[in-house]
Structure 1
Amino acid sequence: MIERNRLSALKLAWAASALLAAAFAHAESYPSKPIRMVIPYTPGGSIDTVGRLVADQLQRQLGQPIVIENTPGASGLVGAMNVKKAKADGYTLLFNASSQTYLPLVVAKKTYDAQRDFTPVGQIGYVPLIVAVNNDVPARTMGEFVQLAKAHPGKYTWATSGLGTTSHLSEEMVNRALGLQMQIVAYKGAVPQLTDVIGGHVSAAISPMPGVAPFVHGGRLRPLAVTSKVRVASMPDVPTLSEAGMPGFELLSWYGIWGPADLPAAITDRLNSEIAKAVEAPSLKARFAELSFVPTKSSPAQFRQLIADDLTKIGKAVKEAGIRIDF
């Protein structure tokens, strides 16, 4: 009996060693074909802009094409679910923002578990959002805009890039903190969101800087505030929301890369290492600076912890504000 148990233990050990060797061999040859990177929003927005920059640098480093697949719909849910269902082999990745974590907090129906259903590969960086209004809105400051909105209930409206996004949560929090009753109109991404603000169909938006900044610098939108704790170097005259009536407020949009659940550790670590190199590439850092995007490096474990911390912090804010959406 003892001999039989030893034999069984040896067989199990051999099988485990074989599996481990196969996993390392797979990681050694990874990637051996093009990688599909899903961006769950329309082309041209902040997430798409940063995602394409990162993908371009990563494919140079990895020696394989990274094919961008824009899959908008249901505030990023459609693209996220596509990745959730994909094979965990490193050839389908998700490039998304912090809304990947926030969406399940606000959707009435069960969507996905932000911690269990995906493998956090690495954080890319973060960026503040801008409160911007149509040029015909007769307000030059956040204080003036608040007075207008209160004086004319129902006249002024917000556009958001999608329900459950950082844009949406920012607008909900501003409404609640400043006593506004501005309706929030949802779009399938930042491009249609900002296009309708520029066109005057919606009054204002709070949206990440990479998408808004070109319109602000081009004089097509008027900035009233930023959502970071300190002013942004590229717009030093634009106050923070903390200065403009919401003391201590800060909400940043951070970006990262995920894989399906159970992505092999060897592949996760390889991708994480390449991401760390990519965000330090001089050409990419220069473009990030133009977009006021702050690159960061994190291990998969650190990225996982960021997600857990945000679930607690933002979950509390969502519960207090009573934010709930249904698709």
Structure 2
Amino acid sequence: MKLLTRWMARLCMCLVAGQVLAQAYPSKPIKVVVGYAAGGAVDVVARTIGQSLSSSMGQPVLVENKPGAGTNIAVKSVIGAEPDGYTLMMAANALAANMALYQPMPFDAERDLVPVSLIGRVPVVIAANPNVPYATVKQLIEAAKGKPNSIAFGSPGNGSTPHMAIELFARAAGIDLQHVPYRGGAPAITDAIGGQVALVAVNALEVLPHAKSGKLKVLAVLSPNRSPIFPDVPTIAESGFPGFEASVWYGLVAPAATPKPIVAKLHDEVQKALQTKEVRERMSAVGGEVVPGSADMFANLIRSERQRYTKLVKEANIQPD
């Protein structure tokens, strides 16, 4: 009985300490690590959310860009950081994909990190040089079936979300496309505009200015609904593949041992931010949508994406750059 009483007392002390910690948090600036260079879609989303959190939590939220090794450098820096709520990461699909791409596995996101909140999604798009003889996905499939492996598509790199998306699409369509990996979306887009590759797969934000100028034509957005920045472009479902989706998702994660009350507070603050007009408009401006929801929902997404990418990497023998 005495042992039970002591155990209960300690439990109550831990709960009270956690509540006090959460109430005092944050007392200094919060850092959000991004595994990509400044100016890209993940960076834009991180700064948008950071600005909103800074206003609501009363402390600066600073974005630190740590590109390299397919975001593994950034992920490892967060895993090794003090688990006090002051180092977070704006993660994307690479968090799930890299566990399958790199051997030995560089980290275990489900063990080493804790999901804070999903932020939103931006669809992958299939765009083409304006001079190619097809303007729809149906016409692309017909051309690809006529000459297997003759149509090249550029992507931001081996194992990137757009690369994975097109590999999944090609399998669903029963076609073979030639993949040309680049080191980032910008050079892939440049070569598509120049005609070195017929197609390019990138996120909607990156292709927008080139579609507006007529240098590229967008064949489809790989999302369930039409994109607000490409309202006249059909979805991949409308193009004959219902249920198919490939989006770049974004979410905040923290070191695994971060106190639960702090994770809960961060989650609540993010959910508030996602309801604001400013954040919704900013996400819409980059071609995406906010995705409110529980931390468990985000954890389930990471788990399911990990399983999907593991299967694809094995079947297609995809190797990292």
When structure 1 is superposed on structure 2, of 227-236 and 84-93 the one drifting more is 227-236
Deviation at 1:89, TM superposition (A): 0.9
Is contact 2:111–2:256 with CA below 8 Å preserved after alignment?
yes
Q: Which residue of 1 aligns with 2:87?
A: 92
Out of 286, 302, 310, which is 1:307 matched to?
302
Letter in 2 for 1:324: I
Deviation at 1:72, TM superposition (A): 1.7
Out of 92, 101, 109, which is 2:104 matched to?
109
| Mapped pair 1:133 → 2:133 | no
Letter in 2 for 1:117: D
- SS of 1:228's equivalent in the other structure is coil
- Unaligned 5+ runs, structure 2: none
Residues of 2 paired with 1:201 and 1:260: CA distance?
Answer: 43
Out of 157, 161, 171, which is 1:166 matched to?
161
- SS of 1:103's equivalent in the other structure is helix
Is contact 2:90–2:253 with CA below 8 Å preserved after alignment?
yes
Is contact 1:75–1:163 with CA below 8 Å preserved after alignment?
no
- SS of 1:67's equivalent in the other structure is strand
Deviations 1:76-118 (A, max 9, x none): 2221122122121111111022332232133343122231111
Q: Which residue of 1 aligns with 2:33?
A: 38
Is contact 2:159–2:320 with CA below 8 Å preserved after alignment?
no
Is contact 2:158–2:320 with CA below 8 Å preserved after alignment?
no
- SS of 1:81's equivalent in the other structure is helix
Letter in 2 for 1:232: S
Out of 198, 201, 208, which is 1:203 matched to?
198
Deviation at 1:25, TM superposition (A): 2.2
Out of 268, 278, 282, which is 2:277 matched to?
282
- SS of 2:266's equivalent in the other structure is helix
When structure 1 is superposed on structure 2, of 155-164 and 52-61 the one drifting more is 155-164
When structure 1 is superposed on structure 2, of 184-193 and 80-89 the one drifting more is 184-193
Superposition pairs for residues 44-59 of structure 1, below 5 Å?
44-59=39-54
Deviations 1:137-162 (A, max 9, x none): 34322334345555666664322224
Q: Which residue of 2 aligns with 1:29?
A: 24
Residues of 1 paired with 2:32 and 2:22: CA distance?
Answer: 18
Residues of 2 paired with 1:232 and 1:185: CA distance?
Answer: 26
- SS of 1:78's equivalent in the other structure is helix
Provide the aligned length of Structure 1 versus Structure 2.
321
Out of 263, 268, 273, which is 2:268 matched to?
273
Letter in 1 for 2:34: I
Deviation at 1:269, TM superposition (A): 0.6
- Unaligned 5+ runs, structure 1: none
Structure 1 residues 266, 191: CA separation in 2 closer, same or farther (over 3 Å shift)? farther
Deviation at 1:14, TM superposition (A): 4.4
Taking structure 1 as the reference length, the TM-score comes to 0.86
Residues of 2 paired with 1:192 and 1:59: CA distance?
Answer: 34
| Mapped pair 1:67 → 2:62 | yes
Residues of 1 paired with 2:187 and 2:33: CA distance?
Answer: 19
Q: Which residue of 2 aligns with 1:242?
A: 237
Residues of 1 paired with 2:164 and 2:224: CA distance?
Answer: 17
Residues of 2 paired with 1:45 and 1:135: CA distance?
Answer: 24
Letter in 1 for 2:318: R
Instruction: Calculate the aligned-residue CA RMSD, in Å.
Output: 2.7
- SS of 1:31's equivalent in the other structure is coil
Q: Which residue of 2 aligns with 1:322?
A: 316
Deviation at 1:131, TM superposition (A): 0.4
Is contact 1:157–1:202 with CA below 8 Å preserved after alignment?
yes
Residues of 1 paired with 2:46 and 2:135: CA distance?
Answer: 33
Structure 1 residues 109, 198: CA separation in 2 closer, same or farther (over 3 Å shift)? farther
Is contact 2:227–2:288 with CA below 8 Å preserved after alignment?
no
Deviation at 1:260, TM superposition (A): 1.2
Is contact 2:54–2:61 with CA below 8 Å preserved after alignment?
yes
Letter in 2 for 1:48: D
When structure 1 is superposed on structure 2, of 298-307 and 14-23 the one drifting more is 14-23
Taking structure 2 as the reference length, the TM-score comes to 0.87
- SS of 1:256's equivalent in the other structure is strand
| Mapped pair 1:228 → 2:213 | no
Query: Percent identity between the aligned chains?
Result: 34
- SS of 1:115's equivalent in the other structure is helix
- SS of 2:109's equivalent in the other structure is coil
Deviation at 1:10, TM superposition (A): 5.2
Is contact 1:225–1:239 with CA below 8 Å preserved after alignment?
yes
Structure 1 residues 209, 69: CA separation in 2 closer, same or farther (over 3 Å shift)? same
Letter in 2 for 1:107: Y
Residues of 2 paired with 1:256 and 1:35: CA distance?
Answer: 16
Out of 65, 76, 84, which is 1:81 matched to?
76
